[in-house]
């Protein structure tokens, strides 16, 4: 057994089979290669493409949530 830590996000076996494309595409990006194991990590995907990523609680509130609102055309 391995203790749970940020490195698990980079291991394919810890991803659901139908979402592994996200891991592959993310890891091929510059951000994924440089900061792939930072957590918490939020990934917004649409039509099998990564639209946006953010890390940390501040990343959710200040970056990801506004992006979701923008992409979906909704209001917070």
Confidence of residue 76 (pLDDT cuts 50, 70, 90): low
pLDDT at 29: 82
CA 19, chain centre distance (Å): 11
Is the pLDDT assigned to residue 36 strictly greater than 90?
A: no
Predicted TM-score (pTM) of this structure: 0.74
Is the pLDDT assigned to residue 9 strictly greater than 80?
A: no
Domain residue ranges of the chain, discontinuous segments joined by +:
6-72
Tell me the average pLDDT across 35-54: 85
Largest CA distance in the chain: 44
Record the tokens describing residue 3, joined without a space.
Answer: 């203790």
CA distances from 58 to 7, 23, 49 (A): 21, 22, 23
> Burial code of 36-58, b = ≥16 C-beta within 10 A, e = fewer?
beeeebbbeeeeeebebbbbeee
């Amino acid at each position: 057994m391995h203790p749970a830590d940020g490195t698990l996000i980079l291991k394919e076996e810890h991803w659901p089979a139908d979402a592994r494309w996200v891991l592959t595409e993310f890891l091929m990006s510059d951000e994924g290669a440089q900061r792939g194991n930072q957590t918490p990590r939020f990934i917004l995907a649409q039509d099998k493409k990564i639209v946006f990523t953010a890390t940390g609680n501040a990343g959710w509130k200040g970056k990801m949530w506004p992006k979701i609102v923008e992409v979906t055309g909704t209001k917070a």
